[in-house]
Amino acid sequence: MSTRYTEDHEWITVEGDVATVGITDYAQQQLGDVVFVELPEVGRKVSKGDEAAVVESVKAASEVYAPLDGEIVEANGVLADEPGKVNEDPEGAAWFVKIRLADTSQLDSLMDEAAYKAHVEGL
């Protein structure tokens, strides 16, 4: 499956029933230099729109929201030790969490790349 996006600037890729979630390049540019990342505990249940992680930068603190319902099955512990990786590779190695999806039909409510680009251009 291709990458999907939220209006809150999270990206989502899905393999089987597990979604990998991170923030977009646009989001990390708006944040500036990331200095701290707080990740959730594995096993935590999340609902679409719940806070899934916290990112702090030199400019502000921001939440990373769960784009879909499910259970946290993995958190990217590298970010706790090296939060700057979010600035280096936000749409790759600096993913935040992996969520086992409760309802894959929720993916239909997310934007594809073209829709997300149009959304960002409208900001």
pLDDT at 1 over 70: no
Q: Average of pLDDT values for 34-46?
A: 97
pLDDT tens, position by position, 60-70: 899 999 999 99
Task: Please tell me the pTM assigned to this model.
Answer: 0.95
pLDDT class of 2 with cuts at 50, 70, 90: confident
Domains of the chain in sequence order: 4-104 (2.40.50.100)
Q: Could you tell me where the beta strands, DSSP code E, fall in 1-123?
A: 4-5, 10-15, 18-23, 34-38, 45-46, 51-57, 61-65, 70-75, 97-101
